[in-house]
Every structure is written in structure tokens, then in C-alpha cells.
Amino acid sequence: MDKVRDTAESHERLFLIEVMGRHSGYIALYTALAGGAEVACIPETRTDVQGIVEQLRQMHQRGKTSVLMVVAEGDELGGAQRLQELLKKHQCPYASRVVVLGHLQRGGVPTPEDRLLALRLGTYAVQSLLQGHSGYMVGVRQNQPVLVPWKEAVSGHHRVPEELVRLLELMAQ
């Protein structure tokens, strides 16, 4: 995201960054928030092209010269390439480019926090197995490792937190 932002700023463009997320917008929303994007298009929310273009016009009028938009591959409009076409059709005020990160994200170097999380959860999983627990997924709740019954972990769709969607909207203003 940092490299794409540098390019967006230097070329004064809108970049649509497509990330994994066929059925869930967690990766896209977290990427947008952590990377300073102005817009995230995710499966859990309706993508209003005309509303996005209006938001982009307002940003452009305020003097904003570059914009990052993160698009989950499962966005109902069909991904970043299709969204770019629709933005152009609705007279988007920015020249735009598409970057498809997709599965490239999986190849990143883990941060110290990633390594610590893996150590904590791996240790908890082994200890739980040694205590006779099976059929569980190890997760984190309130910063503590927990066992989640496998059926609960894989049942249904866990929606992205609405407060994070609102946070992105607030930060984009």
C-alpha cells in the first residue's frame, strides 16, 4: 500500500487496489484502514458508483490529488477492473489505474507482531491438545487465546465490524 500510495501521489492518480476477499471484506477493510485508503468496496456493503464519484469530486475540489481505493475481489460489481470502467463512465475526476494484489499479499514478510501471535497461538494449540482438547480452532478474543468449537468457527459468515466501516468513512473526509 505504501508503494502504491507513493506512485499515486507522484502521478496524481486514483489507484484501485484489488485484494483477496471473495466472500468477506475483512482483508480489504483492514488494508484500507491500515494503508490510509479513502474508499473500500467490500461484499458486505453495496457499492454506490455514483456516490463514490461524488465523494471523489468533493476530494478533487478540495485539492486532493491522489486517492487509494481498496476493492475486495468479491465486491458485487465484479472487482477493481469493472469498478474502474464504471467510474470512468460516471465521469470520475481522476485518472485511474488498477493494481491486483490478490494472492501476492500472502508472500509478505511477517512483522514481529505476526511472529509473536503465531508463537502464542501455536503454543496454546499444543497445550490444548496435550490437555485432551480437539475439534477446536485457536483464536484470539480480547487479546487472549481461546478455543472455538470447529463448527462455530466455520459456520455462517462473520460480517466486518460496522464501526470499522464508519471509521473508514470518517477518515476519508
The full set of domains in the chain, from first to last, is 2-107 (3.40.50.460), 112-154 (no CATH)
Contacts of 94 (CB under 8 A, 6+ apart): 12, 13, 14, 56, 60, 66, 67
When pLDDT is cut at 50, 70 and 90, the band that residue 154 belongs to is confident
pLDDT digits (tens, 9 = 90+) for 13-68: 999 999 999 999 999 999 999 999 999 999 999 999 999 999 999 999 999 999 99
pLDDT computed for residue 158 by the predictor: 78
Going by C-alpha positions, the residue among 157, 173, 163 that lies closest to residue 74 is: 157
pLDDT band for 153, please (50, 70, 90 cuts).
confident
Residue 108 has pLDDT above 80, yes or no: no
Task: Decide: helix, strand or coil at residue 133.
Answer: coil
C-alpha cell belonging to residue 43: 461484499
**Which cell goes with 157?**
459468515
pLDDT tens for 2-12 read 899 999 999 99
What pLDDT shows up at residue 155? 85
Contact (CB, 8 A) for 36 and 74: no
Report residue 123's pLDDT band, with 50, 70 and 90 as the boundaries: very high
Nearest of 85, 38, 29 to residue 57 by alpha carbon: 38
Strands 144-149 and 136-141: antiparallel
pLDDT at position 173, please? 75
User: What CA–CA distance (Å, rounded) separates 82 from 87?
Assistant: 9
Residue 104, pLDDT > 80, answer no
Rounded Cα distance, 83 and 48, in Å: 10
Q: Is the pLDDT of residue 105 over 80?
A: no
Q: State pTM to two decimals.
A: 0.82
110 pLDDT band (50/70/90 cuts)? confident
CA distance linking residue 91 with residue 99, whole number of Å? 20
Q: What is the pLDDT of residue 40?
A: 95
